[in-house]
Chain A
Amino acid sequence: MQGCRALRTTLSTLAVMAGMSGGAAAQELTVWTLTGAVEAENAAWAQIIEEFEAANPGVTIRIEQRSVDEHKAALRVAARSDQGPDIYFMWAGLGLGGEFVQAGLSAPLDAYYEQYGWEDRLLPSAMGFTTAFTEERHGVPYSFAGEAVYYNKALFEQAGITAEPQTYEELKAAADALKAAGIPAFTFGGTVNWHLMRLMDVILETKCGAETHDALKAMTADWTTTPCAVESFAELADWSANHILSPFMGIDQAQSFNLFLANRAAMMLEGDWLVGQISQAAPIEGFDLFIFPTGTGRLYGFAEYLYISSRSEHPDLAAKFLDYLLSDEVQQRHLGAFGAISVNRNVEYQDVGDAEQQWLDIFADHSEIFVNGDQAFPLDVTTEYFRVINEVAQGNMTPEEGAAAMQSFIVNRG
C-alpha cells in the first residue's frame, strides 16, 4: 500500500505540473452553467465575461455549458474531485441546490451580501432560497422562472374555444373541444422525464390544494391514504390517454416544441423562457398564454441560482464576478436574456412585448410559488417519481398502484 501511495503522489504531482505549466500567476475562474435556452443568453454570458476580463487584467473566466441532465451529473461528480467549478448553476430547491448546500459544497456568502449590498438590490421573492437550508446565506439568484400554459390561438379558434380557461373544469372542456376538432390538446416530450412531470405537478396542486400538495412533496403525507394523490394520477392517465399528442414517450422536449410550432398540438406547459424561443422561430402573435388553473393562486415556478463552490480558490474574485453579473447596468442591458424578469429589482421594463408584459404581470400578481417536483424531492425520490408518472401515463400502472409505489419508496428510504 505504501508503494501505491508513493505512485499516487508522483502521478498527482505530474498532473498538477501539467496543469500548472499553462498559466503562471493568472487567476482563472471556472463557471459551470446550462447551455442557454436562447442564443441571447449565450451571447450575454460571452459579453459579460469579456467585459469582466477586460476590467480585471490577468483574470480569465472559463465557462462550461451543458444540457440539463449532463450538468446535474457532472456537478455531482465534480463535487468529489478538485476539478469542480468556482461558480456553478443549480436549481434552488431541496432536491438539487439544497442538497449541495447541506453537504457543505457551497460557500456561505453572508460576507459578500454585506460587502456588495446584494440584499437591497435583489428581488426578495427570488432570494427566498438563500436561507432555506442553513443559517447562512448560500447562492445568488440567477433567474426566477414561472411556468404556464402556452397555446396556439388559431387552433383554439378552430376548436371553437373563445375564452382562456379559468378553472380546471374549463380546461378539460377545452381539451375535449380540441379533441372533437381532431387536435391534441398538449404536447410533451417523454424521454426527458421532467417534462411530463410538470403536468403531474400542476394536477396535484389542483386536486390537493396548496397545503396537501406541499405535504405530499415533503413526504409527510401518505400518498396512498391521501385521496387526491390517487385522483391526480387518474387525471394524469386521462390526459395522457386522450389529450396528449401521441406518441410522446419517445421524443424529447425540444422535439415536442417543434411539433407545437408545427401546429400539431394546441398547448404546451412551459416556462417564461419559451417566449424568447417562440419569437426566434415563429411569429409570437400566433400564441398566447395563461396560468394553469390550479385554483390555489400559487404560481408554478422555480428559482435558478449561482453558487460559489466551497472548494473555490478564488471566492473573492467569484463574488466580484457575480456582483458584476447582478449589477443594475448589466441586468438592464441583458434584460430578457436570462428569463422574462430580472432578479435585480432596480431594472426597468420598457418596450416589452405583449407576452413579456404578461409575464411581468403574472410575477407581480403572485407572491407564492410551488416548485417543480424534481426540485422539491431528493434525487432518488425524483427518479422514482419520474418512473411512476411514466408508468401511469402509459397505462402500465393504475392510479392506485402509482400512489402505492410512491409511498412504499418513501417509506423504504426511511
Chain B
Amino acid sequence: MTLASRFFRQPGSAHLDPILVGLWISLIILAALWIAPFIFIVFTSLKSAAEVMGSSAFSPPADYAWENYSAAWQRGNFTTASFNSIIITAIKVPLGLFLSAMAAYALACVRMRWRKLFFVVVLFGTMIPFQVMLAPIFRQVNAFGLINTYPGIILPYLAFGVPYQVFILHGFFSAVPRELSEAARIDGASHFVIFRRIFLPISLPVLAALFILDFVATWNEFAMALVILQDSDMWTLPLGLMAFQSQFQSNYGQLNAAIVMTVLPAVIVYLIFQRYFVAGLVSGAVKE
C-alpha cells in the first residue's frame, strides 16, 4: 500500500495510474535484459573450460573456478597494464582539467584580442573525432620521438580532451556574474588570483563531474593507445584485453575473467560517484 500511495501517480494527481504500473513492469523486464550480459560474463568467468561448453549459459558455475582470474591476470600481464592505466589516468585527468579550467577562464572572463577566434578554434575540436586521423596523430607523436612513452600518450589525450572541457567550463564561467570578478579587479587582484580564489572554488561541482567523466573516458580509451603504445610493457588495460582476446579467445573462462578485471575499476568508480555523473552531464552539455 505504501508503495502505491507514493508512486505511480501523474503530477498533481492523487489517483493510481494503471498505465504507469504497466510501464514499470516493462521497465523491469527491459532492465533485466540490459543487465543479462553482465551476469553471463561473470558466470562464465567462474566456469572451467569443460563447464562452459557443457552447461547452460545462465546456469551458475558448479564450482567456482577462481583460478581463471589468477591465470588471466598472469597471462594477460595485467599487473603492468593496470599500472600503466593508473599512471596515465592519474596524470592526464587532473592536469587536463586544470589546463582546461585556466583556458576556459581566460576565454570567458578576460578581455583579449582574438578571443572569439581562439574560442572557435577550440570549439572546432569538440566536433572532430580523433578516430578519423589516427595515422597523422601517430606521425606527429613520432616526430617528437614519443612513441611508447607516457608523455606520448598523455599529450594527445590532453589535446583531445581540452576542447570539450573548455567548452563546458566556458559556459559555466560565462554564467558567473560579472560583478564578482570586477570587484576583485578593482581591488587590484590579478586574473591569476581571481581564477584561483574565486572561480576555481565555485566550479568545484562541475570540475568533479568532469573529473569522473574524464576518468572513465581515459581509463577506457583504446584507439589512440593502439597506435601510440606499441610496446607491450606500455599497454593499458583495454590494449591488454584486446591482446588477450586475440591470443586466448578459445579459453572462454579466462577471457571472461579478463573482461571482468578490465571493467571492474570503472564500474566501481561509477557506482560510488553515480550522482555526479548525472549532475555533470546536466550542468555541461544541456545548459540552458
Is any CB of A less than 8 Å from a CB of B in the complex? yes
**Is A231 interfacial (CB 8 A cutoff)?**
no
Are the CB atoms of B145 and A12 closer together than 8 Å? yes
**Is B74 interfacial (CB 8 A cutoff)?**
no
**Which of B1-9, B228-236, B279-287 touches A?**
B228-236
Q: Name the A residues within 8 Å of B227 (CB-CB).
A: 77
Query: Interface digits, B139-165 against A, CB 8 Å rule (1 contact, 0 not)?
Result: 000111111111110000000000000
**Is A172 interfacial (CB 8 A cutoff)?**
no
Query: Interface digits, A8-32 against B, CB 8 Å rule (1 contact, 0 not)?
Result: 1001101110110000000000000
Q: Name the B residues within 8 Å of A14 (CB-CB).
A: 151
**Is A2 interfacial (CB 8 A cutoff)?**
no
Report how far A19 CA is from B145 CA in the complex, Å: 12
Give the interface centre of B143, B227, B230 by most chain A CB atoms within 10 Å. B230
**Is B269 interfacial (CB 8 A cutoff)?**
no
Residue of A15, A67, A81 touching B151 (CB-CB under 8 A): A15
Report how far A258 CA is from B251 CA in the complex, Å: 10
Report how far A262 CA is from B175 CA in the complex, Å: 66
Q: Name the B residues within 8 Å of A354 (CB-CB).
A: none
Are the CB atoms of B233 and A64 closer together than 8 Å? yes
Q: How far is the CB of A70 from chain B (nearest CB, A)?
A: 6
Q: Name the A residues within 8 Å of B148 (CB-CB).
A: 81, 83
Q: Which residue of A lies closest to B135 (CB)?
A: A77
**Is A401 interfacial (CB 8 A cutoff)?**
no
Report how far A82 CA is from B143 CA in the complex, Å: 10
Report how far A343 CA is from B155 CA in the complex, Å: 46
Are the CB atoms of A70 and B147 closer together than 8 Å? no
Q: For window 220-268 of chain A, which residues contact chain B by CB distance below 8 Å?
A: 252, 254-255, 257-258, 262
Report how far A82 CA is from B232 CA in the complex, Å: 16
Q: How far is the CB of A281 from chain B (nearest CB, A)?
A: 10
Are the CB atoms of A257 and B250 closer together than 8 Å? yes
Give the interface centre of B143, B145, B151, B248 by most chain A CB atoms within 10 Å. B145
Residue of B147, B243, B249 touching A254 (CB-CB under 8 A): B249
Q: How far is the CB of B282 from chain A (nearest CB, A)?
A: 38
Q: Name the B residues within 8 Å of A70 (CB-CB).
A: 243, 246
**Is B138 interfacial (CB 8 A cutoff)?**
yes
Q: Which residue of A lies closest to B150 (CB)?
A: A18
Query: How many chain-B residues does the 8 Å CB contact rule pick out?
Result: 24
Query: Interface digits, A28-72 against B, CB 8 Å rule (1 contact, 0 not)?
Result: 000000010000000000000000000000000010111101100
**Is B55 interfacial (CB 8 A cutoff)?**
no
Q: Name the B residues within 8 Å of A74 (CB-CB).
A: 230
Q: Name the A residues within 8 Å of B232 (CB-CB).
A: 64-66
* Interface magnitude class on chain A: 20 to 34
Q: How far is the CB of B106 from chain A (nearest CB, A)?
A: 20
| A77-B138, A255-B249 known; A8 vs B143 contact (CB < 8 Å) | yes
Are the CB atoms of A11 and B250 closer together than 8 Å? no
Are the CB atoms of B231 and A83 closer together than 8 Å? yes
**Is A80 interfacial (CB 8 A cutoff)?**
yes
Q: For window 229-265 of chain B, which residues contact chain A by CB distance below 8 Å?
A: 230-233, 243, 246-250
| A67-B243, A80-B142, A83-B230 known; A11 vs B151 contact (CB < 8 Å) | yes
Q: Name the A residues within 8 Å of B150 (CB-CB).
A: 18
**Is A111 interfacial (CB 8 A cutoff)?**
no
Are the CB atoms of B144 and A252 closer together than 8 Å? no
Q: Name the B residues within 8 Å of A64 (CB-CB).
A: 231-233
| A14-B151, A18-B149 known; A35 vs B230 contact (CB < 8 Å) | no
Give the dominant DSSP class at B's interface.
Answer: helix
Q: How far is the CB of A86 from chain B (nearest CB, A)?
A: 13
Q: How far is the CB of B191 from chain A (nearest CB, A)?
A: 24
**Is A78 interfacial (CB 8 A cutoff)?**
yes
Residue of A35, A69, A82, A258 touching B250 (CB-CB under 8 A): A258
Are the CB atoms of A11 and B247 closer together than 8 Å? no
Q: Name the A residues within 8 Å of B142 (CB-CB).
A: 80-81
Report how far A19 CA is from B151 CA in the complex, Å: 12
Report how far A78 CA is from B150 CA in the complex, Å: 17
| A254-B249, A254-B250, A255-B250 known; A81 vs B147 contact (CB < 8 Å) | yes
Q: Which residue of A lies closest to B152 (CB)?
A: A15
Q: How far is the CB of A311 from chain B (nearest CB, A)?
A: 13
Q: For window 113-171 of chain B, which residues contact chain A by CB distance below 8 Å?
A: 138, 142-152
Report how far A115 CA is from B275 CA in the complex, Å: 69
Q: Name the B residues within 8 Å of A18 (CB-CB).
A: 149-151
Q: Name the B residues within 8 Å of A12 (CB-CB).
A: 144-146
Are the CB atoms of B246 and A67 closer together than 8 Å? yes
Q: How far is the CB of B226 from chain A (nearest CB, A)?
A: 9
Q: How far is the CB of A63 from chain B (nearest CB, A)?
A: 10
Report how far A255 CA is from B249 CA in the complex, Å: 7
Report how far A12 CA is from B233 CA in the complex, Å: 20
Report how far A11 CA is from B142 CA in the complex, Å: 11
Q: For window 79-95 of chain A, which residues contact chain B by CB distance below 8 Å?
A: 80-83
Report how far A16 CA is from B249 CA in the complex, Å: 37
Are the CB atoms of A16 and B247 closer together than 8 Å? no
Are the CB atoms of B147 and A83 closer together than 8 Å? yes
Report how far A74 CA is from B147 CA in the complex, Å: 12
Report how far A70 CA is from B249 CA in the complex, Å: 14
Are the CB atoms of A78 and B144 closer together than 8 Å? no
Are the CB atoms of A8 and B144 closer together than 8 Å? yes
Q: Name the A residues within 8 Å of B138 (CB-CB).
A: 77
Report how far A66 CA is from B243 CA in the complex, Å: 7
Q: For window 73-112 of chain B, which residues contact chain A by CB distance below 8 Å?
A: none
Q: How far is the CB of A262 from chain B (nearest CB, A)?
A: 8
Are the CB atoms of A82 and B247 closer together than 8 Å? no
Report how far A8 CA is from B243 CA in the complex, Å: 32
Q: How far is the CB of A249 from chain B (nearest CB, A)?
A: 15
Q: Which residue of A lies closest to B230 (CB)?
A: A74
Add 6 more A-B contacts to A19-B149, A67-B247 (CB < 8 A). A11-B151, A12-B144, A67-B243, A77-B138, A78-B230, A254-B248
Q: List 23 A-B contacts (CB under 8 A).
A: A8-B144, A12-B146, A15-B146, A15-B152, A18-B151, A64-B231, A64-B233, A65-B232, A67-B243, A67-B247, A70-B246, A74-B230, A77-B147, A78-B147, A78-B230, A81-B142, A81-B147, A82-B145, A83-B147, A83-B230, A252-B250, A254-B250, A255-B249
Of all A-B residue pairs in the complex, the 8 with the closest CB atoms, nearest first, are A254-B250, A12-B145, A81-B147, A67-B246, A83-B148, A67-B247, A74-B230, A64-B232
